[in-house]
A and B are shown apart, each in its own frame.
Chain A
């Protein structure tokens, strides 16, 4: 089974711009979650989608948004980029079972200049 894929792998943007990141989950996984990883804060939960509905959201400003399509693929959007948004953005998919096991993609490294 193919793993979680994320595109692009690297992005460089300037402050004020917006960015869209894409994620394709493992086949059969209907839950997709997004995480931000930075050296200072570690891995922090952004939001989770299941069957095209956002079921859970972390403590991030409204500039961070996402959506999920009928084929379970997901996109994440960050508007009005700030320097502090520079991070590794990780997508994870799961079977949404009791144990909440997450399978991560390789991430998108976003650099905001």
Chain B
């Protein structure tokens, strides 16, 4: 059972367009992280959101954590070819059984065409 549903799985857009990636769960997370991964490399942490309703901005990327801390979204404004990659959301839970463990969504493969 996939605890984090990420959509869409694939996104192919033109340079300059806007896009939103969604990450939904029926579980509550203590924090939610977004990563970007390029082929042959490990995921790189973009942002961590921890408070319900929190919004964080990283240049053209806007991250939001749902009020109930069950869902999150990533919005990219005016996408550029350099944004191309695999975007992953990952949820963390508090408590001993969660040490080191992130639950990942299946990922969104974003391709931005020049």
Contact = CB atoms under 8 A, between A and B. Distances in A.
B61 interface: no
A99 B45 contact: no
B99 A102 contact: no
Contacts of A45: 100-103
Contact of A56 (B30, B33, B42, B98): B98
A3 B30 CA distance: 25
Interface stretch (B14-22, B52-60, B67-75, B104-112): B104-112
A104 B86 CA distance: 15
A100 B31 contact: yes
A42 B105 contact: yes
B105 A102 contact: no
B13 interface: no
Give the contact-size bracket for chain A: 20 to 34
B94 A98 contact: yes
A22 interface: no
A109 B103 CA distance: 21
Contact of B45 (A49, A98, A103): A103
A31 B99 contact: yes
Give the contact-size bracket for chain B: 20 to 34
Nearest to A48: B100
Nearest to B42: A104
B78 to A, nearest CB: 28
A63 interface: no
B40 A43 contact: no
A103 B42 CA distance: 9
A55 B101 CA distance: 10
B100 A56 contact: yes
B42 A100 contact: no
27 contacts: A33-B101, A42-B106, A42-B107, A45-B101, A45-B102, A48-B100, A49-B100, A50-B99, A50-B100, A55-B99, A58-B101, A90-B42, A92-B42, A99-B30, A99-B50, A100-B30, A100-B100, A100-B102, A101-B33, A101-B48, A102-B45, A102-B90, A102-B100, A102-B102, A103-B45, A104-B43, A105-B42
